[in-house]
Amino acid sequence: MTDRLHRSHLPARLEAPVTPDQVGIVHLGIGAFHRAHQAVFTELAARATGDRRWGILGVTQRSASVRDQLRPQGGAYSVLTAGTHGTRLDLVGAVLDVAWPAEETTRVLETIAAPTTHVVTLTVTEKGYARGADGGLDVERVRPDLDALAAGDAAVPGATAVGLLVRGLAARWRAAEAAGERRPITVLTCDNMVDNGHVLGRLVGEAVDAALPGEQGDGLRSWLATDVAFPCSMVDRIVPATTPAQRDAVERELGARDEGLVVGEPFRQWVIEDRFAGPRPAWEEAGATFTDDVAPWEQAKLRLLNGTHSLLAYAGRLAGHATLAEAVTDPVLHERARAFMLDDALPTLTPPDGADLRAYAESLLERFANPATGHTTVQVSMDGTQKIPFRWGGIVADRLAAGAVPAGAAFALAAWSEVVRREAVAGRLVDDPRAQELADVVAGAGDGDPAAAAPADVARALLALPGLLPEGVGTDAGLVDAVLAQVPELAEV
């Protein structure tokens, strides 16, 4: 039986990973993306500078699986970079350990409060921010954490990422007060949301108001305003699910079993607003871009990469394609995706300094076609109601305001609607926080019977779903007509 990979006995033929001296970063949501992206930047920054203060304590929200993968390995794991021209294997040691809040919430709170911790990062996906349809905090969803915060009970298991974060920040504030110190900290969200840092800062404020109203929370609110920064950021790297075959191949190469292996495409990008409350890793030494304004980068990525990804996922599902690579190499869908980017998305964007967005758009089609990424159309089409407002909603609103009906976005919306309808007819809920609501809309269009609902009636009803598109956009006659014009062809696929 092959030995398990471990930090203390590593393959000599690969460059040894860093071994940080301490935890300097707490990361909420330590899935594959973080391990192939921010942790890699942190690793490379430490190698370039020799600064070993920035070890990561990862926090896994939904299960203990990542903890059980990495803890027996001392946090070390490998990253397989897979491109069309071959692969590369690297070891990463930036992660020191992983905690599961169901059993280790007290440890997480204490680590956020520790004076050696200076940054909290997050990759919890759009739905992990516990927002309601209006974009505000879903207080009832976060209630267990808010009650624990009000009671000052660190032993209550963290129920949500936002709730756990607020409790950790409160613990840091109390520890700073007790020690007579300031202890500033930066909270850096790395999720695909417009204005993500400001959104998170607002949600934290709403959580404090709900848990500690009035004078109870004045001290914490004052500290948040002066000593906590919520910079925005934009991240980009395609990180597909690791396959058993890839684990076996890496085991043969390493001579050890790596249960924490992650796979990523060669491209990686991180743009960060240069607004920190205290020290940070030298991520620029690893290729990160620091800027005063992330918004143009963020919008370009959301509308070009993420928007096109979602279009290909829904249309690809309907066409019977299992992966994004299959979908983008379908000649019809390839042209649909290209038209969406060039005709709909690009005219709505302001290029960041030095960026060629048309070249970026063309490169995306090549990146999506990399079969090694393995992204499935089902995986990318999850959580549509959380993604569509950011990936398509702004494009549609901006093009309509300019007097143009966005044909590519209309096709994408029609494809999403048809996926929702088909799942409802099959008696299945889509993988979406509003899944039951979507099923009810389909049933309502058929007078209670999803199978009796006409595809066009479903599309019309779904376009008007509150929170899906900017106000008034979902009922715009030009958009509705454009979407309905696409429905018959998609419904027959």
Q: How far apart are CA 440 and CA 422, in angstroms?
A: 13
> Which residue from 40, 49, 149, 58 is spatially nearest to 97, judged by alpha carbons?
58
* CA 352/CA 466 separation, integer angstroms: 32
With CA atoms as reference, report the closest residue to 5 among 255, 262, 264, 263.
Answer: 255
pLDDT tens across the length of the chain (493 residues): 689 999 998 888 899 999 999 999 999 999 999 999 999 999 999 999 999 999 999 999 889 999 999 999 999 999 999 988 889 999 999 999 999 999 999 999 999 999 999 999 999 998 899 998 788 999 999 999 999 999 999 999 999 999 999 999 999 999 999 999 999 999 999 998 889 999 999 999 999 999 999 999 999 999 999 999 999 999 999 898 898 999 999 999 999 999 999 999 999 999 999 999 999 999 999 999 999 999 999 899 999 999 999 999 999 999 999 999 999 999 999 999 999 999 999 999 999 887 899 999 999 999 999 988 878 899 999 999 999 999 999 999 999 999 999 999 999 999 999 999 999 999 999 999 999 999 999 999 999 999 999 999 999 999 999 999 999 999 999 999 999 999 999 997 5
Q: Report whether 78 contacts 89 (CB < 8 A).
A: yes
User: In whole angstroms, what is the distance from residue 89 CA to residue 250 CA?
Assistant: 8
Sheet strand arrangement including 228-229: 95-99, 55-59, 23-28, 119-122, 185-189, 228-229
Q: CA-to-CA distance for 260 and 268, rounded, in angstroms?
A: 20
Q: What is the pLDDT of residue 493?
A: 57
Edge-to-edge order in the sheet of strand 289-291: 233-236, 269-273, 289-291
Q: Are 125 and 58 in contact (CB under 8 A)?
A: no
DSSP state of 451: G
H helices then E strands: how many in the chain?
Answer: 21, 12
Tell me what pLDDT residue 170 has: 98
Q: What is the pLDDT of residue 2?
A: 80
Tokens found for residue 153: 């009970």
With contact defined as beta carbons under 8 Å apart, do 265 and 367 qualify?
Answer: yes
At 127, list the tokens: 């739905």
pTM: 0.84
Cα–Cα distance, 164 to 100 (Å, whole number): 12
